Amino acid sequence: MAADESYPDDLRYHREHDWARIEGDEAVLGITWYAQDALGELVHYEPPESGSSVSKDSTYGEVESVKAVSDVIAPLSGEVLEVNQVVVDAPETVNEDPYGNGWLVRIRLSDPAEAEQLLDAAAYREVLAEQ
Amino acid sequence: MTYVCLTDADREEMLATIGVSSVEELFRDIPDGVRLKRELDLDAPLSELEIVQRLEQLAGRNVSTGDTISFLGAGVYDHYVPSIVDAILQRGEFLTAYTPYQPELSQGVLQALFEYQTVICELTGMDVSNASGYDGTTVAADACYIAKHATGRSKVVLAESLNPQLRQVVRTYAPGFGLEVVDVPHREGVTDPEELRAAAEGAAAVIFQQPNFFGCLEPAPELAAAASDAGALPVAHVDPVSLGVLEAPGAYGCAIAIGEGQGAGNSLSFGGPHYGFIAAREEFTRRMPGRIVGETTDVDGNRGYVLTLQTREQHIRREKATSNITTNQTLLALGGLIHLCWLGPEGLRELGETCMSLAEHAKDRLGLPLVFPDRTTFKEFAVRVGRPAAEAIRAARAHGVHPGYPLGRDYEGMDDVLLVAVTEQRTLDEIEALAEALAT
Amino acid sequence: MKLIFERSREGRRAGTLPKPEGLARAEVPEELRRRRPPRLPEIPENEIVRHFTRLTTRNFGIDTGFYPLGSCTMKYNPRVNERVAALPGFRDLHPLQDEEGSQGALELMVELQEILAEVTGLDAVSLQPAAGSQGELTGLMLMRAYFADRGEAGRRKKIVVADTAHGTNPASVTMAGYELVKVDTDKRGNIDLDDLRAKVDDETAGLMLTNPSTLGLFDEHIEEIARIFHETGGLLYYDGANLNAVCGISRPGDMGFDIVHINLHKTFSQPHGGGGPGGGPIAVRRHLEPYLPVPAVVRDGRRYRLEFDRPKSIGKVRAFTGPFGVFVRSYAFILAWGRELKTMSEDAVLNANYLLARLRDAYELPYDRLCMHEFVLSARKLKREHGITALDVAKRLMDYDFHPPTIYFPLVVPEALMIEPTETETKETLDDFADAMNAIAREASEEPDTIKSAPHNRPVKRLDEVKAAKRAVVRYRFEEHPDLAAEPTASAATEAPRGV
């Protein structure tokens, strides 16, 4: 069952429809409700390798629905600590719970100051309004 | 003209509906400078009868397998195509359908392709097959592309005993893929596993052929193991007609199996259209090129088939696609499916045994020195004819026999060598005729 | 309906083979011998025929009905072409038969090459590529070879492709080792010239363009586009997917293109066969001829031969000289039209414009111009007002016994319906189709659920593509085959996702 539209206030957003939940020097990353809705039900998640590094504004993985494929853009830079195996096994988890069980990777931040460049929920909603 | 559907009255009425006064006006967006201001320099239109006459005249200038006793093979073989193949393929619902993008109107082609994929997987011992590639050479390039992305390596190794045309095609594609191509020479007609292992260091894939271009049986399990040891994907190029008697590549550790399908279900047709097949272990499913049919259910729970995993393909993934292929060889592949169903497991085994036995018999009857006397061969073998092969062909042709393919075209030191192919269509009498023709 | 494997019973068989008397049995060495036989179906011949005949009744072809699939040129496939392709002198001709014994085949190929050169306005032709996409790749390989010869290969890394292009274009660019540069479409549906000028420089190898475009529009600035590339030394590649619009009217060579591929299975009536075979010959200007694939098929007075000695050739892109059976059919088709081929394109364009005129009130027309051989409508209004998508319209058309148009392509048009009638349709067929499309537009407000649940009279209803992709059951697994019917079915795909 698809989730209802929401953009939680405790997250930071990237204009390419990705979010980050910053927890100290680590962050959990995922895609926004808007992104999963635009893609439709996800059928595949191609994750990065654990231990690889991701850099802000670059692709770190792919998500696919039946007829669309999308790069996942890292909102922040760092090293991949953990890949969400739940999503690898059941990609539709992202549709059901994009900000909870549908997270994609956990990273250790290499430059926590980058977070200042991200959008808050209100600013991200403005980005969506322009689409 | 034969295919015109509109009358002048139709045209007038249609132009009026459109709101223009002439057909000419429909083309007003085409700049004057790029228009053709003369008639095309082609012949006057022909009636159907004249077309048949013209084509019969051209066909009559060719020497078909009905006109000569042919022992030509070298990649394309004169196997018998059962009558039901054309009877089914000529049905308009298959013949004149487009790619099955609308599954509700295409269950016939989709289910048949699902059955084709299953048959290819069964023959090769693999988990996934696509719905066909262009031919037995281009699927080798496809295999290289898969291997490059799967391993991140940028070299491929080709056995010299592979079909030379396949090697040429891989070399043509390789620069665009950013791949270096390395050859491993044959030793007395087959590939040496140790030499292959050394060459395979750092390679993405190793491709060998079983039976190889000379007709010899390679030590295929050892070659696959050598490639795997070096971290390269073992890729076997196999003849579907051999797979009732020869082991499936999946059973000896290959990652990918490819081949030319022509011998199963397609006529010679001067080299095409035929179909190439490519099948792989499950882990490579998402790297496969081209269309794949998958099973599913409709909203009422009834079984049905659709094109699936389409995010691999060019119409969705565009510049990041696993291949640019779209049009494939579906109708030819369905010919293969029908032929293989007609044979069944017993028939396929018998076909392989008959070809092999006839070829052994031909070796005996020719009494000419074999180029690789210590090797087991399948339906093809190389003999020295004691004079330039071209000369032997000319002489034999005068006796109504095309005795084989001159291997000197592709390999040094083989100017006097003929590659002789013997299919189930050759009779014992025809083999006698070959022996006589080569003796003169 | 059962799979053919589910009809199998051990011990049954169809085909028999000769068993020559007194033949000694040859043995495969133990370690190379097949251990477990392939599980091919065991089934008598009449049951094979019935199985596949039943399958054909579950399929739609041009022989069944109107097939206005945009960019695919689904025209009638004359039966005489099948007859001549099956002549023993063609069908049973081995590709390695000596030249003496294949003069008729070689002559046919040389004549077809000459015809295609005349139709495209170029100088030399190779028939070798197996399909349009392979023609594209071959064309890009020719560019690479040409620039390598001029010492410019290291610098010229970029290929420009329009945003309306078929997916094969960008995919071919990557496979050929080039970098893709996308160029926008302007408000009239032409290439955006300002965007183009900003993106073309001396690092550009060339352009790939379909003209008329996938919007069915002839680019009004084609001369300027050619100038932009030729001034910087780049080459122009013509994707011939839409050649059916302009035969005898405007030739790619005259438009300024240097390399062209021709889809024999579109313009020149090779049947699509449920997905193939096709043929993708390429035509080039004289200065690119040395790089064409080998062997070349050439005429020497009244003799024909294969020429392998072309030192600058890119090599081979497939086996032998190409899909010969396709050449026979296309050659026969062209003989029927001869020098009046122009009428073919005129009628194709007339049919398209007539349909456009009949449909433009009920559907939106994003680029309001006369079209060429095809046009693109949008179901955006139906979606906004009634929740009826392009996919719904497509499925409902099946209830009216029509094959749907191409949908959701090109990507620049939302809810796209891309319609190409071809020249081989009568006015009555076009009227029936227009009536059906207009009826569906009315139904959208009156009975939308009828459309959303369509099709209603086909062997299956809408299929669960999510299940297909997730489960990836791509072969029959015999005893271990999963029972997908026992697994929950999602509300089958109703709309093509737009992606992000």
Mean pLDDT of chain B: 97
**Quick check: C500 and A67 CB within 8 A?**
no
Chain A, nearest residue to C497 by Cα: A39
pLDDT for C392 equals 97
Contact B286 A44 (CB under 8 A): yes
Residue C469 is nearest to which of A16, A39, A43, comparing CB atoms?
A: A43
What value does the mean pLDDT take over residues B323-347? 97
Gap from B230 CA to chain C (nearest CA, Å): 22
Which pLDDT does position B2 carry in this prediction? 77
Contacts of B316 in chain A (CB under 8 A): 67-69
Q: How far is A44 from chain B (nearest CA, A)?
A: 10
For C41, residues 6+ apart whose C-beta sits below 8 A from its C-beta are B341, B344, C4, C5, C7, C8
CA distances from A47 to A26, A29, A89, C150 (A): 18, 12, 11, 43
* Shortest distance, CA B231 to any CA of chain C (angstroms): 23
CA distance A70 to chain C (A): 6
- A68 lies within 8 A of chain B by CB: yes
**Which chain A residues touch B310 with a CB distance below 8 Å?**
66-67
Residue C338 pLDDT more than 70? yes
What mean pLDDT is reported for chain C?
Answer: 96
Express each pLDDT in C130-179 by its tens digit.
999 999 999 999 999 999 999 999 999 999 999 999 999 999 999 999 99
Structure tokens of B102?
Answer: 């609308």
* C498 pLDDT more than 50: no
User: Chain C within 8 Å of A96 (Cβ-Cβ)?
Assistant: no
Tell me the chain C residues in contact with residue B132 when contact means C-beta distances shorter than 8 Å: 276
Taking contacts as CB-CB distances below 8 angstroms, the residues of chain A near C496 are 67-68
CB within 8 A of C480, min separation 6: which ones? none
Q: Which of B117, B338, B98, B81 shows the shortest CA–CA distance to C53?
A: B338
Q: Which residue of C lies nearest to A42 if distances are taken between CA atoms?
A: C466
pLDDT > 70 fraction of chain A, expressed in percent and rounded: 99
Here the tokens at position C491 are: 């509300």
Q: Any chain B CB within 8 A of the CB of A44? A: yes
Query: Which amino acid, residue C349?
Result: V
Inform me whether the pLDDT recorded for B349 exceeds 60.
Answer: yes
Residue C197 amino acid letter:
R
Tell me the percentage of chain C whose pLDDT exceeds 70: 98
Q: Which residues of B touch A66 (CB under 8 A)?
A: 310-311
Q: What are phi and psi of B95, to 5 degrees?
A: -60, -40
pLDDT of residue C496: 52
What ipTM, to 2 d.p.? Answer: 0.98
pTM value?
Answer: 0.97
3-state secondary structure chain B: CCCCCCCHHHHHHHHHHHCCCCCHHHHCCCCHHHCCCCCCCCCCCCCHHHHHHHHHHHHCCECCCCCCEECCCCCCCCCCCCHHHHHHHCCHHHHCCCCCCCHHHEHHHHHHHHHHHHHHHHHHCCCEECCCECCCCHHHHHHHHHHHHHHCCCEEEEECCCCHHHHHHHHHHHHHHCCEEEEECEECCEECHHHHHHHHCCCCEEEEEECCCCCECCCHHHHHHHHHHCCCEEEEEECHHHCCCECCHHHHCCCEEEEECCCCCCCCHHHCCCCEEEEECHHHHHHCCCCCEEEEEECCCCEEEEECCHHHCHHHHHHHCCCCCCCCCHHHHHHHHHHHHHHHHHHHHHHHHHHHHHHHHHHHHHCCCECCCCCCECCEEEEECCCCHHHHHHHHHHCCEECCEEHHHCCCCCCCEEEEECCCCCCHHHHHHHHHHHHC
Q: Check residue C491 and give its pLDDT.
A: 60
pLDDT value of position C411: 87
CA distance C471 to chain A (A): 9
Rounded CA separation B356/C24 (Å): 10
Decide the pairing of beta strands B233-238 and B256-260: parallel
How does pLDDT run across B105-158, given as a tens digit for each residue?
Answer: 999 999 999 999 999 999 999 999 999 999 999 999 999 999 999 999 999 999
Establish if A41 touches chain C: CB-CB under 8 angstroms.
yes
**Chain C residues lying within 8 Å of A39, measured CB to CB:** 497, 499-500
Residue C499: list chain A partners with CB under 8 A: 38-39, 68-70
Residue in C with minimal Cα distance to B321: C171
Look at B171-180, B247-256, B309-318 and tell me which has the smallest mean pLDDT.
B309-318
Chain A positions touching C408 (Cβ under 8 A) are: 67
Q: A53-54 and C282-284 as β-strands: parallel, antiparallel, unpaired? A: unpaired
Measured between beta carbons, the chain A residues lying within 8 angstroms of C469 are 43-44, 64, 66
Chain A residue closest in CA terms to B312 = A69
Residue C492: pLDDT above 70?
A: no
B270: left (phi over 0), alpha (psi -120 to 50) or beta: left
Note the pLDDT tens digit of each residue in C218-271.
999 999 999 999 999 999 999 999 999 999 999 999 999 999 999 999 999 999
Using a CB–CB cutoff of 8 Å, tell me whether A93 touches chain C.
no
Among partner residues C408, C468, C499, which is closest to A38 by beta-carbon distance?
C499
B297 vs C: CB within 8 A: yes
C494: pLDDT confidence band, cut at 50, 70 and 90? very low
CB of C94 closer than 8 Å to CB of B53: no
Under 8 Å between Cβ of B240 and B340: yes
Strand, coil or helix: C463: strand
Instruction: Enumerate neighbours of A (3 or more CB pairs within 8 A).
Output: B, C
| Half-sphere exposure in the Cβ direction for A117 (13 Å, CA) | 12
Of C173, C101, C107, the residue nearest C143 (C-alpha) = C173
Q: Is B34's CB within 8 Å of C17's CB? A: no
User: Which chains lie within 8 Å of chain B at 3 or more CB pairs, if any?
Assistant: A, C
Min distance C259 CA to chain B CA atoms (Å): 16
CA distance C256 to C230: 9
Instruction: Say if the Cβ atoms of A70 and C499 lie within 8 Å.
Output: yes
pLDDT band at B231 (very low <50, low <70, confident <90, very high): very high
**DSSP state for residue A67 in the 8-state scheme:** S
Please list the residues that pair with A63 across neighbouring strands: A45, A70
pLDDT confidence band for A1 (50 / 70 / 90)? low
Cβ <8 Å between B316 and A44: no
Q: How many CB atoms lie within 10 A of CB C480?
A: 6
A43 to C470: CB separation less than 8 angstroms, yes or no = yes
CB-based contact C223 B86, cutoff 8 Å? no
Looking at chain B, which residue has its C-alpha nearest residue C304?
B61
Nearest chain C CA: its distance from B325 CA (Å): 6
The mean pLDDT value for B376-384 works out to: 98
First-last CA distance in chain B:
53
Nearest-neighbour CA in chain B from A67: distance (Å): 6
Q: What is the pLDDT of residues C19-59, one digit of tens each?
A: 998 899 999 999 999 999 999 999 999 999 999 999 999 99
Q: Nearest residue of A to residue B317 by CA position?
A: A69
C499, A16: Cβ pair inside 8 Å? no
Does an H or E element contain A89, and which?
Answer: helix A85-89
Chains near C, with 3+ CB pairs < 8 A?
A, B
Contacts 24+ apart (CB under 8 A), C445-453: C445/C385, C445/C386, C448/C386, C448/C387, C448/C388, C450/C396, C451/C388, C451/C392, C451/C393, C451/C395, C451/C396, C452/C387, C452/C388, C452/C392, C452/C494
Minimal CA separation from C498 to chain A, in Å: 6
Q: CB contact, 8 Å: A64 with chain B? A: yes
Residue B1 pLDDT: 56
pLDDT band at A2 (very low <50, low <70, confident <90, very high): confident
Model confidence at B433, pLDDT cuts 50, 70, 90, reads very high
Contacts of A17 in chain C (CB under 8 A): 500
Residue C499 has pLDDT above 80, yes or no: no
H or E segment at A29?
strand A26-31
Would you call B104 and C462 a contact, using CB atoms and an 8 Å cutoff?
yes
In chain B, which residues have their Cβ closer than 8 Å to the Cβ of A64? 311
Q: CA nearest C495 in A: which residue?
A: A40
- pLDDT of A45-95, one tens digit each? 999 999 999 999 999 999 999 988 999 999 999 999 999 999 999 999 999
Q: How close, in Å, is residue A101 to chain B by CA atoms? A: 25
C127/C150 Cα distance (integer angstroms)? 26
Residue C123 burial (CB count, 10 A): 14
